[in-house]
Structure 1
Amino acid sequence: MSVSVRDVAARAGVSVGTVSNVLNRPERVSGTTVDRVRDAIRELGFVRNDAARQLRAGRSQSIGLVILDVGNPFFTELARGAEERAAALGLAVLLGNSGEDPAREARYLDLFEEQRVRGVLISSVGEVTEQLERLRNRGTATVFVDRRAGDLPFSSVSVDDVAGGRLAAQHLIEQGRRRIAFVGGPRDLHQVRDRLAGARSAVEAAPGCMLEVIETESLTVRQGSLAGAAIAARDAADRPDAVFAANDLLAVGVLQAAAQAEGLRVPDELAIIGYDDIAFAASTVTPLSSVRQPSHLIGQTGVEILVREAEEPDTPREQIEFQPELVPRASTGA
């Protein structure tokens, strides 16, 4: 049998209104009364119906976060940044992992709309403009993270991935590499397209260099390992002498495949650079060069913009774009 606010009031010997104040505005109640009510709550095992309270208030104390891959440490750190900033503002983060599946992403957006969250942060995989506009029209702020909103009427917090792709390819070229393979996919992901575009621009500006694209099904270690094994199986004259992987998980997979192959030493025969600079990039057997994104800061900044827009819906939209940073290590011979 569930315990009600009336049960707590009876046990504490106070009114229902006093219990409500203790739960929501304790500063209005004397300290001894607060203690008496809280003792009654513990003794009875009372748990408030926060969903009902939020429906009455018309807004939630939570925000939704939809990310591409919860198994990717980049998104883990982004979520940690969002949670820390949200907690400081008295909010909670509800996490949804789309798994790079547009249908699952759409279901999370529907769920967050039903839950009447205060706002939604999203690193999208599908076409979500219509859903996000519906959310905003109902008073739910929405902000893109890890991708630029561009011409869409939303705020965003991202990194200049074109510049990041250019940084990675230029670094390989400066290390004397001329046959570069870009490993990444699927290409309908904005991040993959932009990083490839940056790499392509760097290679096209370097005489005698060429860029090969090896598309993967997803951005995982397994897919990187498959791509690396395919590279290792080629004749030496037909192999690239460098790999730019669209993220660090792919790069780790390529690195593993190279370590298992004969005559494919890293970085002598194959230089490898990743993207994101996740926590264990520096701890791989051959420390991995990478392009760093401020993942924690992206999450924090996204929450700050989201809360501001939730409180002031007419505030101008913002598109904040951080600059990436090259982190050279042993995998490129740096």
Structure 2
Amino acid sequence: MRDVAALAGVSHGTVSNYLNHPERVSQDKADRVRAAIQTLGFVPNTPARQLRLGESSAIAYIAPDVSNPYFATIAEGVEQRAAERGLTVYIANSNRRRDREDAYLALFEQQKVRGLLVASHGEVEERLAAVRTRGTPSVLVGQAASSPRQPSVSVDDVAGGRLAAKHLLSLGRRRLAFVGGPVEVRQVRDRLAGARRAVRGVRGARLEVVLPVDRTIAAGHLAARELLARAPQDRPDAVFAVNDLLALGMLQALTDGGVRVPEDLALIGYDDIEFAAASLIPLSSIRSPHESFGFAAVDALLDDIAGTLAEPHQVHPPELVVRTSTAGRGGAPATP
């Protein structure tokens, strides 16, 4: 910085202000400092800056699967809100593996990030508590925390599962199937619990549970092929897929196999990703506010750090979005 200051003909403090408080530097001096930085190839030492200021300008978001548009949308919201709050974001993909998740938790703790946003398909709250005791706060994204000390931003997945199954039942469907797994994943378990509540007490209704090993388009193909291998009268007349990727994979394989959607089988997904509405047969889905999740998570983290977080557990209500895959092209419920 001293070399930059000397070449630009300004004080060391002016260079510091240019890097940290550019609004305090006149246009003329800013242009000179910028030219000196380019000439010298100067790169600010971020770790040194953090040590001097006593805090990091970065937060981290750990997602379980960034190839899933749901988590990618959350990441976009995190980046946008962080930029508005003067922060940068590290984004990591755990690929739904506990070892990778632990490695990223350790890495970001060592990097002294200001805080963590963690979306996990496993039980991570106890590990976040240990990280918090060592000085790194966090927000759990996508599942409600049980501890009042652990902030979280989530959707009421039990209510979402109930909404999906109630919609299928309202169409007159009675042979329902829930497709999604494994049930060790909190979100899967909650959505299944909600579906079971909706089916319970409805005369003649039953809920079959199909547990694919994954929640991807490929897994949806495989699950649909299993249904296609049955005689038509032994198939469900409605399917609730635990997420939209599974549902879209099933939709493709079912229609390729000659099943009419929704006439023969009504199909609903979960998350309402962008591709749900754009499918050849637009997919009904349960919408969660993932567009605003990133904003809410960043705000909750910074409020927690500031000691101003009023509600540690934000639980957002889900919303039913009805499209052709359940209601038919005319928009009215299809009759089985």
Q: Which category describes the TM-score, using the shorter chain as reference length? A: over 0.9
Q: 24-33 or 293-302: which moved more?
A: 24-33
How far the C-alpha of 1:297 sits from its partner, in A, is 1.1
The aligned runs of 1:125-274 (5 Å cut-off) are 125-151=121-147, 153-262=149-258, 264-274=259-269
Distance 2:17 2:322 in 1: 57
- 1:320 to 2:301 alignment: no
Query: Given the alignment, which residue of 62, 70, 73 partners 2:69?
Result: 73
1:182·1:244 contact (CA, 8 Å) conserved in 2? yes
Query: Given the alignment, which residue of 301, 311, 324 partners 2:296?
Result: 301
Distance 1:157 1:37 in 2: 43
- RMSD of the alignment, in Å? 1.6
Distance 1:258 1:249 in 2: 14
Mark the runs of 5 or more structure 2 residues left unpaired by the alignment: 328-332
2:122·2:186 contact (CA, 8 Å) conserved in 1? no
Residue-by-residue CA offset, 1:175-195 (whole Å, 9 max, x unaligned):
111111101012111110000
Distance 1:50 1:56 in 2: 10
How far the C-alpha of 1:303 sits from its partner, in A, is 0.5
What percent identity do the matched residue pairs reach?
54
SS in structure 1 of the partner of residue 271 of structure 2:
coil
Mark the runs of 5 or more structure 1 residues left unpaired by the alignment: none
1:102·1:125 contact (CA, 8 Å) conserved in 2? no
Distance 1:147 1:327 in 2: 21
SS in structure 2 of the partner of residue 181 of structure 1:
strand
Please give the TM-score of this superposition, normalised by the length of structure 2: 0.93
SS in structure 1 of the partner of residue 270 of structure 2:
coil
How far the C-alpha of 1:311 sits from its partner, in A, is 2.3
How far the C-alpha of 1:145 sits from its partner, in A, is 1.0
Distance 2:326 2:26 in 1: 65
Please give the TM-score of this superposition, normalised by the length of structure 1: 0.94
Distance 2:226 2:93 in 1: 30
Letter in 1 for 2:115: G
How many aligned positions are there?
328
Taking a change above 3 Å as real, the CA distance of residues 29 and 332 of structure 1, as seen in their structure-2 partners, is closer
Query: Given the alignment, which residue of 273, 276, 279 partners 1:278?
Result: 273
Residue-by-residue CA offset, 1:178-230 (whole Å, 9 max, x unaligned):
11110101211111000000001101121110011111212110111100111
SS in structure 2 of the partner of residue 66 of structure 1:
strand
1:82·1:296 contact (CA, 8 Å) conserved in 2? no
SS in structure 2 of the partner of residue 150 of structure 1:
coil
Letter in 2 for 1:164: G
Residue-by-residue CA offset, 1:19-75 (whole Å, 9 max, x unaligned):
223222334444433322122112222111112211333321111111121011111
